[in-house]
Structure 1
Amino acid sequence: MTPVTSEGVGNKRRQRQLANEIKESLRELSIQLSLLNHQVGARADLKDVDLDCLDLINRHGPLSPTALARRAGLHPATMTGILDRLERGGWIARERDAADRRAVNVRALRDRNAELFSLYSGMNKSMDQVCAEYGEAELSLLAEFLRRTINAGQSAADKLAGG
């Protein structure tokens, strides 16, 4: 059996402290991004959930309303109201599938993307400045950490949704 040294205990304690700092920072980041998104949504006349769904459509679309509701973790009936608002605002279009006229896909209308890019430009510029302070290896490590954090969040959300 390997004896426990005070250095080993101190290292474990420091690792736990850093892990807690990271978790607290992620919570604060979540709040700050929510506040930013709320301000962007207010300027673009979009509810927070509308902005989230528009982002999902931009990233993963075109999507069926059902697939979008699943990705967003929302009830399909709720999604109908969101899509109605986004369509009225000129953010999305609903299109019939050529092969199956009953099926509908939702796609983002790129004409309005410049408006959103402009509203997020301050954050994007700040992030460029932050990233410029790190080397390639550090950025690679951070990117991997964020991917794994995203996967952990998605897994936790899926477990809550399933039971």
Structure 2
Amino acid sequence: MSTKVSAEETRRKRRLAAGIKESLRELNIQLSLLNHQVGGHARLKDVDLDCLDLITRHGPLGPSALARLAGLHPATITGILDRLERDGWVARDRDPEDRRAVLVRALPDRAGELFRLYAGMNGEMDDICAGYDEAELGLLADFLGRVSDASRRSSARLAEG
């Protein structure tokens, strides 16, 4: 029995990989459109919603760290934080370890608003995930994590010039 991969198997695998890439592109578009709708309902610009998500996931964090995570210029982050703070989404606090530094944290009071806006998608995701067993969910989680890491690395390379 030969362990050599046939040309047909290689072609099939390439087609499947191309289909996955196309599906990821479509997913990116659909999630961007969903986020745009959520942002519109919450009166948040797309970039503000992205930064708020980063703060919620990684915060509290300093404005410079947020700029690095978001791939944005620090001056741009200042304007975003001004809007988010003005509208009650975040607070800026003195860093307890360095009183000269500022940490930005998401305010929980408004989190329910975003949770409600994403409830439809979260429900749909629960329904989709219910159709997979634990091993399949593990495989999907691993794949999506690896794709996210690849995207992060590619974005960092582009940011470096």
Aligned pairs for 1:87-102 within 5 A? 87-102=85-100
SS for the counterpart of 2:36 is helix
What does residue 56 of structure 1 align with? 54
1:85-135: CA deviation from partner (whole Å, max 9, x where unpaired): 000110000001234321100000011000000000000000000000111
When the two chains are superposed, the root-mean-square deviation of aligned CA atoms in Å is: 1.4
Q: 2:103 matched to 1:110? A: no
1:123 corresponds to which of 121, 124, 128: 121
What does residue 78 of structure 1 align with? 76
Aligned pairs for 1:134-145 within 5 A? 134-145=132-143
Shift of 1:9: 1.2
What does residue 147 of structure 1 align with? 145
Shift of 1:76: 0.2
SS for the counterpart of 2:99 is coil
Q: Which segments of 5 or more consecutive residues in structure 1 lack a partner in the other structure?
A: none
Cα distance between partner residues in 2 of 1:67 and 1:3: 49
TM-score, normalised to structure 2, is 0.96
Cα distance between partner residues in 2 of 1:22 and 1:58: 29
> Identity, % of aligned pairs?
67
Cα distance between partner residues in 1 of 2:30 and 2:143: 19
What does residue 8 of structure 1 align with? 6
Q: Which segments of 5 or more consecutive residues in structure 2 lack a partner in the other structure?
A: none
Q: Which runs of 4+ in 1 moved over 4 A?
A: none
1:45-81: CA deviation from partner (whole Å, max 9, x where unpaired): 0000000000000000000000000100000000000
Cα distance between partner residues in 2 of 1:130 and 1:100: 45
Partner letter of residue 74 of structure 1?
Answer: L
